[in-house]
Amino acid sequence: MNWVTLTYEPWMPIGADKAKQDFAAIAEKHAYHPLIIDRASQTVDLNLIQKNDLLIHQYPSYLGDAWELDFLQNVQRIGARFGLMIHDFEPLRILDQQSNRAAWQLLAAADFLVVHNSAMAAVMLKANSTVFQLGLFDYLTDTNSSTSRLPETLAYAGSLTKASWLKDYSLNLPLEVFGRVPRKWSLANKDQVNFHEALSPEIIAQSLESHWGLVWDTNTKKAGYQNYEKINSPHKLSLYLAADIPVIVWQQAAIAEIVLQNHIGITIDNLHDISEQIKNAEIDFHKLKHFSNKIRSGYFTTTVLEKIDKLA
């Protein structure tokens, strides 16, 4: 029997669990059964797992890597195979996590890893020789928008703690921002910026029509958010593509290649490049719709699960 974990944490911000929920929902369509981890009680029912079962664990569950490692060892002790689906890997993103040996030990102990892309695979192969690449996160939604002309405004959605550049935004381009503004921020005189509360995953996908989707993080004293983009496939990119809007990404990001090769957006070195770049943008709207359909239908998760099944 095949299993996929899903962490139960009802207090999480709106949309924070969307990537994990979608991965689990798509896996269920492919004969994977949900194994619920209760984050409040830090419990999971291992009595459900039997010898020769296959479990894909969506990591991290944010219960600490000591808990994660104990969970892995208990599953393998039963005789089941244990794969890690990496959503985020904090030792490569959060500065004070860089010495976290337990996280790397967890990668090495797993039977296989599912990572974002080839850049992340190159890093993770140092810990585990069996690595599958997801490519892009899927984003399940009934939204069926269609873009056929270049937008003139920008949109940014997600955690604003990674977007401190908003405090200094000065471009002469209207920007729609979706997310909770940190309490300590001062955003006076931001006439070009329109802030919205965090919206449900379905509603936000409908609210992005006729915008460029901006993927842009800022390094902080505690985190290398922008540096992490060199190996990351951001979930917000999938949101934008599911909404069928062209994207703007950092030219050093791991996702830059797929954006440029398929003409579904533009790349920039800094935010001040945007105005000039969008004037000369050449977007393949047919390709953009193609990616939108793939992401909304669960193509990337389905593909990687089929590869895992073949290995089994």
For 31-69, the pLDDT digits (tens) are: 999 999 999 999 999 999 999 999 999 999 999 999 999
Strand, coil or helix: what is 278? helix
Centre a 10 Å sphere on the Cβ of residue 89 and count the other Cβ atoms it contains.
26
Residue 206 has pLDDT above 80, yes or no: yes
Beta-carbon contacts of 47 under 8 Å, excluding residues fewer than 6 positions away, are: none
Please check the confidence at residue 229 and state whether its pLDDT lies above 90: yes
Whether the predicted pLDDT of 160 surpasses 80: yes
Summarised one tens digit per residue, pLDDT across range 13-25 is 666 799 999 999 9
- How far from the centroid of its chain's Cα atoms is residue 236's Cα? 7
- Mean pLDDT in residue range 235-247: 97
Measured N-to-C along each axis, helices 65-78 and 101-109 cross at an angle, to the nearest 10 degrees, of 20
* 198: confidence class by pLDDT, cuts 50, 70, 90: confident
DSSP string, 26-52: HHHTTTEEEEEEETTTTEE-GGG--TT
Could you say which of 3.40.50.2000, 1.20.58.220, 3.30.930.10, 2.40.30.60 is the CATH number of the domain covering 2-133?
3.40.50.2000
pLDDT digits (tens, 9 = 90+) for 279-297: 889 999 999 999 999 999 9
Query: Residue 180, Cα to own-chain centre: how many angstroms?
Result: 18
The yes-or-no verdict on residue 9 having pLDDT over 80 is yes
Query: Is the confidence at residue 153, as pLDDT, over 80?
Result: yes
Q: For residue 221, what is the DSSP state?
A: S
131 forms bridges with which residues in the sheet? 113
| Cβ neighbours around 280 below 10 Å, total | 7
pLDDT of residue 186: 75
Q: pLDDT exceeding 70 applies to what percent of the chain?
A: 97
Question: Over 70: is that where the pLDDT of 11 sits?
Answer: no
pLDDT value at 163 more than 80: yes
Asked if residue 215 has pLDDT above 80, the reply is yes
Task: Take residue 232 and report the two structure tokens written for it.
Answer: 């990351």
Distance (Å, rounded) from C-alpha 296 to C-alpha 60?
24
From the CA atom positions of the chain, what is the Rg in Å?
Answer: 20
pLDDT of 63-90, one tens digit each?
999 999 999 999 999 999 999 999 999 9
DSSP 4: E
Asked, colleague to colleague, whether 2-133 and 154-295 share their fold, the answer is yes
Res. 312: pLDDT tops 70 = no
The phi-psi region of residue 78 (left if phi > 0; otherwise alpha if psi is between -120 and 50; otherwise beta) is alpha
Mean pLDDT on 111-124: 98
Q: How far is CA 293 from the centre of its chain?
A: 18
Decide: 301 and 138 in contact? Cβ < 8 Å: yes
Q: What is the mean pLDDT of the chain?
A: 94
pLDDT interval class at 112 (50, 70, 90): very high
CA dist 18 → 21, 100, 242 (Å): 5, 26, 13
Q: DSSP label at 205? A: H
* pLDDT score of 189 more than 70: no
**Domain 154-295 CATH (choose: 3.40.50.2000, 1.20.200.10, 3.90.850.10, 1.20.120.530):** 3.40.50.2000
C-alpha angle 27/32/33, rounded to 5°?
120
Residue 51 has what pLDDT? 98
20 and 39 in contact (C-beta within 8 Å)?
no
Domain ranges of the chain: 2-133, 154-295
Closest residue by Cα to residue 289 from 244, 248, 247, 246: 244
